Amino acid sequence: MSRLRKWAQGGLLALLLAIVVVGSAYSAFERAVATRIAGFAAPVTGVEVRDRNGALLRAFANDDGGWRLAAGAEDVDPRYLAMLLAWEDKRFAEHPGVDPVAFGRALWQSARHGRIVSGGSTLTMQVARMLGRLPTGSFSAKAEQIVSAIALERSQDKAAILSLYLELAPYGGNLEGVRAASLSFFGKEPRRLTAAEAALLVALPQSPERYRPDRFPELAKAARDRVLDRMEALGILDAAEAARARREAIPPARRELPMLAAHAAERLRAADPGRKIIDLTIDKAVQARLEAYAKDKAATLRKPVSLAIVVAEHATGEIVADIGSPDLFDRERQGFVDLTRAARSPGSTLKPLIYGLAFERGVAHPESLVDDSPGGFSGYTPQNFDRDFQGIITARRALQLSRNLPAVELLSAVGPARLVYRMRRAGAKPELGDRSLPGLAIGLGGIGLTLEDLVAIYGGIAHGGVAMPLHIEPGAAAPGKRILSPQAAWYVTSILAGATTTAKGSPGTIAHKTGTSYGYRDAWTVGYDGRHVVGVWLGRPDGAPVEGLVGEATAVPVMQDVFARLGAPARLAGPPPGILASAGSGLPPPLRRMGRAAERAEAGLKPEIVFPPNAARVEVGFGEGAGTLPLKVRNGRPPFTWYVDGRPVTLGTLQRQSSWQPAEPGFLSISVVDATGAAAATRVFVE
């Protein structure tokens, strides 16, 4: 065999061997890529609670205590993305996971220096390293990055890979991802970054612990400025903007991530731990203002007195602000307790609904006269808060003064069961304790209700008698339920707004009612304007009494401050059709006086014998000097006819007094009849 032939055969064998080796390597490589594709798992991001506009209210850390939030290109400033790609991977859009140019440069430098000088890593390779928690500085780790990067490029599009980088990039401590870093260092989402802020976020992942601005501000500034210099050289920043950015201060410390509406967020997260995004109807700006106010207000209250606030839109039932306590971490005030959902005695806050039911059922009118005097109702004998009584007053005035006796009398007329039923229609969940049937005491606070319950009830009154379901999560609006007629709801609004008479037109701007529970345990006020209903509670979380805790003095100022922070109030609506804007004799006779006031009036119209009084012994004398028996009547309508022992003795006199001469001593039955036929009688002994 010739030498040439031997060389040809050897070459062929070598070629075949090379093909086998390359094929085997390629096959092994493909299997490795497929294995990594199959094993790909998206990183776990923290739960986010967002407001009605998508703004972050609260974020929850991962189980390992790290902060990592979902992010995409749409969540960051476009200039930050331009700076990131220019700094880290300018050919990111073109390469298949590995940049041959950068990789070749890295190999050449490594060969020259005998060690890895520059990694030549693409963004995809960095994502692969972060996903696999791979070390840096070794050839085996670099090989694993390459395989994993190619697997990522085959299984994910460029947008998804970029999103992974934005979520995983390390920023020191327990911060991962650009959103957690931006919120922690700048107190804002990364959608609107200054040039200096964007440059710092680009630089930090290069050496996150070494460049941490809260620990090493000088090193952080130097790293940021290197990025700014490069961006200026590339033309991404002009010279003036880069100079301004270099003068911008480095953030001196980390900030707390948002924790607004903490109680509601925690409750909803616990109810469904698998949810990553929890959207609320809360308005972040309003929530933030009111939480800051609640903390400031709590600082003026003697511990452990606390407060809770709920603000809702009564036309939709959406909760705009929800403050369960002034400070979640205040142990002395048991800040972890959500006091918007704590069942307490509502004091006098149910009186508006009682009056509304009476107006709806034709039992009374705002200008009806009611009796605020001592009395009992089916064995229940209530007292007024101030132990004073006003006598005969209008229902309007009785509600404005929060008199107890008229409220109980009206509740007796409409029925406690009906009151409870209407509360439940509003979405409230009243607690009756061990009573199977509600009694009259519920009208003065003998029942358990939450602040949310009261806001739902008052929202129904504010919304023309239709209570929209109170809710904190957005969704298709459930239909409202009527709890009062439109006319009755407007009568109540007119009274609570302070109107002096029932007249056409808007009654004002804000209607409100206060309540104080027995023993000064709870101070309430609920108010509403043409848009919002505001509920306020103050008291001790443990339910103990607080001396001097009264709704009017403590809760009303808080409500007024809350409305001031909601912006210009919306004027209350005018009356619906069917309003009876009359008073006194202009009312139908059955509505002029109600209950005991009507009974007293009727009694006052009947004749009453003033003299001689019943069961009296009257000396008139007999024989010489015999006198006459005076007869006197009050009330009733003249003319009067007097009878003695059934015989008329004075016919049709217009005078209210007369006299008669008895013939002999003994018992006499005396009666008088007025022009309407009403009569009065007495029995006396004359001597």
Q: Of all helices (H) and strands (E), which one includes residue 270? A: helix 262-271
Burial pattern 112-144, b for ≥16 Cβ within 10 A else e, equals eeeebeebbbbbbbbbbbbbeebeeeeeebbeb
Confirm if 265 and 278 have CB atoms less than 8 A apart. yes
Q: Which amino acid is at 503?
A: A
Residues marked as catalytic: 88, 348
Tokens matching residue 235 = 């033309």
DSSP string across 327-377: -TT-TTTTTTS-TTS--B--TTTTHHHHHHHHHHTTS--TT-EEEESS--B
Q: Which amino acid is at 661?
A: Q
Could you report how far apart the first and last alpha carbons of the chain are, in Å? 174
Q: Which amino acid is at 255?
A: R
HSE value, Cβ hemisphere, 13 Å, CA-based, for 490:
21
Provide the 3-class DSSP secondary structure of residue 169: coil
Closest C-alpha among 603, 605, 590, 581 to residue 369: 590
Q: Which amino acid is at 624?
A: E
C-alpha distances out from residue 382 to 203, 350, 374, 550, 599, Å: 73, 15, 8, 19, 19
Confirm if 279 and 50 have CB atoms less than 8 A apart. yes
DSSP 8-state class, residue 586 = G
